């Protein structure tokens, strides 16, 4: 299903906004939650089909924009999708482990 078709399905299902959270590491990307809201702002329970399509859509957008988001220590974040405008706003954090090597010499003959 194309992105346009997914948006059309969401509109037909009276979903106007979605909030999605994701987390990844060890070469696996995971969608933690998909929360849908109707035009009145009330939460709407997504069908299993919508849930699955939205998960695939978010993973596809992450692959396009943040290739490798699931690799090594991975990344995590949240996405808000406005169904009417078709805009997906990401708040994306990349995990990075950094090391700093410092060599030093101490004389054990000086001092106490």
pLDDT over 80 (residue 101): yes
CA distance 4 to 68: 25
What's the pLDDT score for residue 104? 79
pLDDT over 90 (residue 36): yes
pLDDT over 90 (residue 102): no
Mean pLDDT of the chain: 89
Q: What is the pLDDT of residues 85-99, one digit of tens each?
A: 999 999 999 888 878
pLDDT over 70 (residue 112): no
**pTM of this structure:** 0.80
pLDDT over 90 (residue 24): no
């Amino acid at each position: 299903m194309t992105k346009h078709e997914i948006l059309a399905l969401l509109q037909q299902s009276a979903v106007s906004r979605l909030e999605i959270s994701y987390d990844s590491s060890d070469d696996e990307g995971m969608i933690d939650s998909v929360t849908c809201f109707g035009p009145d702002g009330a939460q709407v329970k997504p069908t299993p089909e919508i849930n699955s399509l939205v998960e695939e859509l978010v993973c596809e957008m992450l692959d396009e924009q943040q290739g490798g988001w699931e690799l090594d220590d991975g990344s995590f974040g949240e996405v808000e999708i406005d169904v009417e405008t078709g805009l997906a706003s990401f708040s994306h954090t990349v995990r990075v482990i950094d090391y700093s090597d410092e060599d030093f010499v101490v004389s054990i003959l000086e001092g106490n």
